[in-house]
Amino acid sequence: MAAPILRRTVVALALALAGCQERAAPGWSGYAEGDYLYIAPTLPGRITTLAVQAGQQVDLGAPLFTLDSEPERAQEGQARASLAAAQAQAANLASGRRPDEIAQIQAQLAQARAAAQLAQSNLARQRRLVDQGFISAATLDGLESSARQAQGRMSELEAALRVARLPGRPEERAAARAQALAASEALRHSDWSRRQKQQSAPAAAQVADTYFRAGEYVNAGQPVLALLPPANIKARFFVPEDQVATLAPGDAVRLACDGCGAPIAARISRIATQAEYTPPVIYSNAQRAKLVFLVEARPAPQDAPRLRPGQPLDVRRAPTP
């Protein structure tokens, strides 16, 4: 009687263990990786200040390094002077002649009017004398010519006064405004160039490495240091082709590594579209020489610093709540 009961108990335990094995989440091998930010100047120059060192944590906007900006400061001063000159020229063309110049023309016009009036009076008087036969017609012709000259001089000065009160021609004013705008843009470019000599952290991160020291010359686009923000740390693991269809971006996984303590929660962010063979960096007999798909998962920013790029990882699907 005891034997059948024992057999039934053993069978039940075997079935229970088989069910647990079937429900166990599959595991995959991978490693941690970081997407580094390589901070380089946009302009060449000599490093005057390197404010950080490898391993240091920096906040968003913290100063990283400074290049010699004396040439840019001189260029900015020249641009400011050119802008002031262009603006003064534009204002001059928009305002017409100075008050003193207008007053001078007005005085000359008053003299011309008086001279014209005197010439007309002399001409009228001499015409009466011609009628009476006291002067010749030739003398009258000379007086008429003098009167016309005086009238012409008065008309000339009246026109000069009107022109003096007018601003510059539209074309001249447009050219002056364009020169002022060009000078303003040159100043803005000079200011931008000067600010490029001071680089700050684009994100809160750890300084992974520095490649130059203060006093050394660096070319434009050449990295001076590398930053690793927590959000740029991720897990890369390889899933066999017969299991990849069960995964989708957004799925939760758990990352385990030596010395990491409790498993780290992460979510799948990318699944490769093409298969590959397990890379030699994955030292796993179970996955060696299998056709796999690369999958990436990102932990929460507060958990990411627990991972170190290059660190081997064991990845499992997170249990369903």
| Structural fold of domain 37-67+196-228 | OB fold (Dihydrolipoamide Acetyltransferase, E2P) (2.40.50)
Distance CA 282, CA 285 (A): 9
Is the confidence at residue 309, as pLDDT, over 80? yes
- 37-39 sheet: strands from edge to edge: 37-39, 225-228, 205-210, 57-58
Greater pLDDT, 230 or 10: 230
Greater pLDDT, 286 or 122: 122
Q: Residue 39: CB partners within 8 Å, gap ≥ 6?
A: 64, 65, 199, 201, 202, 223, 224, 225, 226, 227
Span 258-286, average pLDDT: 80
Is the confidence at residue 291, as pLDDT, over 90? no
Band of pLDDT at residue 266, cut at 50, 70 and 90? very high
Distance CA 109, CA 184 (A): 42
Tally Cβ neighbours within 10 Å of residue 5: 9
Mean pLDDT over each residue of the chain, to the nearest integer: 79
**Percent share of the chain, pLDDT over 90:** 39
Mutual orientation of helices 137-165 and 99-132 as an angle, nearest 10°?
160
Indicate the SS3 state at residue 264: strand
Give the residue carrying structure tokens 């290059």: 310
Q: Which amino acid is at 188?
A: R
Q: Residue 216: CB partners within 8 Å, gap ≥ 6?
A: 46, 47
Give whole-number Cα distances, 100 to 44, 103, 106, 163, 164, in Å: 52, 5, 10, 15, 11
Span 33-45, average pLDDT: 94
Distance CA 298, CA 301 (A): 9
Is the confidence at residue 296, as pLDDT, over 60? yes
Q: What is the pTM of this model?
A: 0.62
Is the confidence at residue 52, as pLDDT, over 80? yes
Domain boundaries along the sequence of the chain: 26-34+230-317, 37-67+196-228, 76-192
Least confident of 18-22, 83-87, 96-100, 275-279: 18-22
Query: Per the structure block, which two tokens stand in for 22?
Result: 């079937």
User: Cβ distance 264 to 274 under 8 Å?
Assistant: no
CA terminus-to-terminus distance, the chain: 42
CATH class entry, domain 26-34+230-317: mainly beta
Greater pLDDT, 163 or 152: 152
**Which pLDDT score, from 0 to 100, does residue 3 have?**
44
> Taking the alpha carbons of 27, 28, 30, 34 in that order, is the dihedral positive or negative?
negative
Give whole-number Cα distances, 253 to 239, 266, 274, in Å: 13, 5, 21
Is the confidence at residue 283, as pLDDT, over 90? no
Greater pLDDT, 93 or 177: 177
User: Cβ distance 164 to 97 under 8 Å?
Assistant: yes
Band of pLDDT at residue 5, cut at 50, 70 and 90? very low
**Which pLDDT score, from 0 to 100, does residue 114 have?**
81
Length of the chain: 321
Greater pLDDT, 87 or 92: 87
**Which pLDDT score, from 0 to 100, does residue 146 have?**
79
